[in-house]
Amino acid sequence: MSLEPQELEDLTSKIGRKPTSTELQIVAAEWSEHCSYKSSKKHLKMLPMTGPLVISEKGYDSGVLDVGGGYVVTAHIESHNHPSAVEPYGGAATGVGGVIRDILSAGTRPIAILDGLRFGDIEKDQQARWLFKNAVTGIADYGNCLGIPTVGGEVEFDKCYTNYALVDVASVGFGKKENLIKNHAKKGDLVVLLGGSTGRDGIGGSQFASDSLESEDRSAVQIPDPFIEKLIIEAVLEARNHNLINAMKDLGGGGLSCAVSETADALSIGIEMDVDKVHTREPGMHPDEIMVSESQERMLIVTDNAKLKKLQEICKKFRITCSVIGHVTSDNMMHVKKGKKTFARLPTDVVANATLLDRPSKKPAYLATIEREKKLKPISDYSKMMMKFLASPNIASKIWVYGQYDHEVGIRTVIKPGRDAAVLRLDNGKFLSVKIDGNPKHCYINPREGAIGCFEEACRNVVCTGAKPIGMLDHLQFGNPENPEIFWTFLESLKGLTDFAKYFKIPCVGGKVSLYNETPSGPIKPTPLIGVLGLAEKKHQTNTKINTDDVLIVVGNTKNEMGGSEYFEYIHKFIGGRCPVVDFAESKKNMDTVLDVIKKGILKNVHDCSKGGLAVAISEICMVEQIGCTVSLDKVPGEKLDTDRVLFSESHSRYLLVLEKTNLKKLEDILKKNKIAFGVIGKFGGEQIRFDSGSKKIMDLRVDKARKTWINSLRELVVHG
Partner 1 sequence: MKIGVVVFPGSNCDRDMYHVLTDVFHLDTQYFWHDKGLPKNIDAVILPGGFSYGDRLRAGVIAAHSPVINDVRRLAAKGIPILGVCNGFQILVEAGLLPGVLLKNTSLNFMCEWTNLVVENNQTPFTNQFELGQKIPIPIANGEGRYYVDEATLEKLKKHNQIVFRYTDSVNGSSYNIAGVCNEDFNIVGMMPHPERAVESEINPIDNKPSSLIFKSLLHTIGVEN
Partner 2 sequence: MGTYDVHVTIENKPGISDPEGDTILNDLILKGTHSTITKIKAAKMLKFTIKEKDKKTAQKKIQEICDELRIYNPMVSKITIDVFDA
How far apart CA 272 and CA 215 sit, in angstroms, is: 35
How far apart CA 314 and CA 321 sit, in angstroms, is: 10
How far apart CA 684 and CA 630 sit, in angstroms, is: 6
Applying CB under 5 A, among 30, 288, 518, 608 the residue interacting with Mg ion is 608
SS3 36: helix
Applying CB under 8 A, among 265, 406, 518, 620 the residue interacting with partner 1 is 406
Applying CB under 5 A, among 154, 211, 297, 420 the residue interacting with Mg ion is 420
3-state SS, one letter per residue, for 281-349: CCCCCCHHHHHHCCCCCEEEEEECHHHHHHHHHHHHHCCCEEEEEEEEECCCEEEEEECCEEEEEEEHH
- Count Cβ neighbours within 10 Å for each residue of 156-170 and write b for 16 or more, e otherwise: bbbebbbebbbbbbb
Q: Looking at beta carbons only, is 232 or 509 nearer to partner 2?
A: 232
Q: Which distant-in-sequence residues (6+ apart) come within 8 Å of 223 by Cβ? A: 90, 201, 296
Q: What minimum distance in Å lies between the beta carbon of 224 and partner 2?
A: 8
C-alpha pair distances (Å), 710 with each of 398, 564, 717: 9, 22, 12
Region from 122-130, 133-141, 215-223, 458-466 binding partner 1, contact rule CB under 8 A:
133-141
Q: Which amino acid is at 361?
A: S
C-alpha pair distances (Å), 6 with each of 3, 192, 199, 216, 355: 8, 35, 31, 22, 10
Q: Looking at beta carbons only, is 195 or 224 nearer to ligand ADP?
A: 224
Region from 200-208, 308-316, 345-353, 600-608 binding Mg ion, contact rule CB under 5 A:
600-608
Q: What minimum distance in Å lies between the beta carbon of 430 and ligand ADP?
A: 20
How would you class 679 by CB atoms within 10 Å of its CB: exposed for 0-12, middle for 13-18, buried for 19 or more? buried
Identify residues 450-469 at the interface with Mg ion (CB under 5 A). Answer: 461
Residue 642 binding target from partner 2, Mg ion, ligand ADP, none, CB below 5 to 8 Å by type: none
Q: Looking at beta carbons only, is 199 or 496 nearer to partner 2?
A: 199
Q: Site residues (CB under 6 A) for ligand ADP?
A: 115, 117, 150, 152-155, 398, 401-402, 405, 417-420, 437, 461, 608, 610-611
Size of the site for partner 1 (CB under 8 A): 31
Q: Looking at beta carbons only, is 425 or 588 nearer to partner 1?
A: 425
167 binds partner 1 (CB under 8 A): no
Q: Looking at beta carbons only, is 424 or 614 nearer to partner 1?
A: 424
Q: Looking at beta carbons only, is 365 or 411 nearer to partner 1?
A: 411
Residue 144 binding target from partner 2, partner 1, Mg ion, none, CB below 5 to 8 Å by type: partner 1
Q: Which distant-in-sequence residues (6+ apart) come within 8 Å of 721 by Cβ? A: 126, 129
Identify residues 292-331 at the interface with Mg ion (CB under 5 A). Answer: none
Q: What minimum distance in Å lies between the beta carbon of 281 and partner 2?
A: 6
Q: Site residues (CB under 8 A) for partner 2?
A: 86-87, 89-90, 130, 199-201, 218, 221, 223-225, 227-228, 281-282, 319, 719-721
Q: What minimum distance in Å lies between the beta carbon of 563 and ligand ADP?
A: 18
Q: What minimum distance in Å lies between the beta carbon of 411 and partner 1?
A: 5
412 binds partner 1 (CB under 8 A): yes
β-bridge partners, 172: 75, 112
Residue 639 binding target from partner 2, ligand ADP, partner 1, none, CB below 5 to 8 Å by type: none
398 binds partner 1 (CB under 8 A): no
How far apart CA 396 and CA 115 sit, in angstroms, is: 17
Q: What minimum distance in Å lies between the beta carbon of 283 and partner 2?
A: 12
DSSP letter for 638, please.
S
Instruction: Please answer whether residues 192 and 325 qualify as being in contact, where contact means their C-beta atoms are separated by less than 8 angstroms.
Output: yes
Residue 117 binding target from ligand ADP, partner 1, Mg ion, none, CB below 5 to 8 Å by type: ligand ADP
140 binds partner 1 (CB under 8 A): yes
Region from 225-233, 269-277, 504-512, 585-593 binding partner 1, contact rule CB under 8 A:
225-233
411 binds partner 1 (CB under 8 A): yes
Residue 410 binding target from Mg ion, ligand ADP, partner 1, none, CB below 5 to 8 Å by type: partner 1
Best CA proximity match to 671, nearest among 609, 602, 590, 607:
590
Q: How far is CA 349 from the centre of its chain?
A: 30
What is the DSSP pairing of strand 333-338 with strand 341-347? Answer: antiparallel
Max distance between CA atoms of the chain, in angstroms, equals: 89
Residue 412 binding target from partner 1, partner 2, Mg ion, none, CB below 5 to 8 Å by type: partner 1
Dihedral sign of CA atoms 21, 26, 27, 31 in order: positive
Q: What minimum distance in Å lies between the beta carbon of 712 and partner 2?
A: 15
Q: Looking at beta carbons only, is 420 or 561 nearer to ligand ADP?
A: 420
How far apart CA 634 and CA 26 sit, in angstroms, is: 64
- By beta carbon distance, the residue nearest ligand ADP is 153
Q: Which distant-in-sequence residues (6+ apart) come within 8 Å of 350 by Cβ? A: 11, 14, 15, 27
Residue 82 binding target from partner 1, ligand ADP, Mg ion, none, CB below 5 to 8 Å by type: none
Residue 230 binding target from partner 1, ligand ADP, partner 2, none, CB below 5 to 8 Å by type: partner 1
Residue 146 binding target from partner 1, Mg ion, partner 2, none, CB below 5 to 8 Å by type: partner 1
Catalytic residue among 43, 76, 80, 572: 80
What is the DSSP pairing of strand 270-274 with strand 333-338? Answer: parallel
How far apart CA 334 and CA 347 sit, in angstroms, is: 6
Q: What minimum distance in Å lies between the beta carbon of 218 and partner 2?
A: 6
Residue 326 binding target from ligand ADP, Mg ion, partner 2, none, CB below 5 to 8 Å by type: none
Catalytic residue among 34, 82, 607, 652: 34
Q: How far is CA 198 from the centre of its chain?
A: 28
Q: State the Cα torsion 626-562-461-707 to the nearest 10°.
A: 20
Angle among Cα 426, 429, 430 to the nearest 5 degrees reads 65
Q: What minimum distance in Å lies between the beta carbon of 124 and Mg ion?
A: 27
Q: How far is CA 618 from the centre of its chain?
A: 26
146 binds partner 1 (CB under 8 A): yes
Instruction: Please answer whether residues 499 and 455 qualify as being in contact, where contact means their C-beta atoms are separated by less than 8 angstroms.
Output: no
Residue 153 binding target from Mg ion, partner 1, ligand ADP, none, CB below 5 to 8 Å by type: ligand ADP
Angle among Cα 659, 661, 665 to the nearest 5 degrees reads 95
β-bridge partners, 644: none
SS3 380: coil
Q: Looking at beta carbons only, is 230 or 611 nearer to ligand ADP?
A: 611
Q: What minimum distance in Å lies between the beta carbon of 531 and ligand ADP?
A: 11
Q: What minimum distance in Å lies between the beta carbon of 90 and partner 2?
A: 7
Task: List for the chain the helix, strand, coil content (%; round to 5).
Answer: 40, 25, 35
Q: What minimum distance in Å lies between the beta carbon of 30 and partner 2?
A: 25
668 binds partner 1 (CB under 8 A): no
Is 184 designated active site?
Answer: no
Residue 401 binding target from partner 2, ligand ADP, partner 1, none, CB below 5 to 8 Å by type: ligand ADP
Is 34 designated active site?
Answer: yes
Q: 10 Å Cβ neighbour count for 37? A: 18
Contacting residues toward partner 1, per CB under 8 A: 137, 140-141, 144-147, 225-227, 230-231, 317-319, 402-414, 416, 425, 539
As annotated, the active-site residues are: 34, 80
Contacting residues toward Mg ion, per CB under 5 A: 420, 461, 608
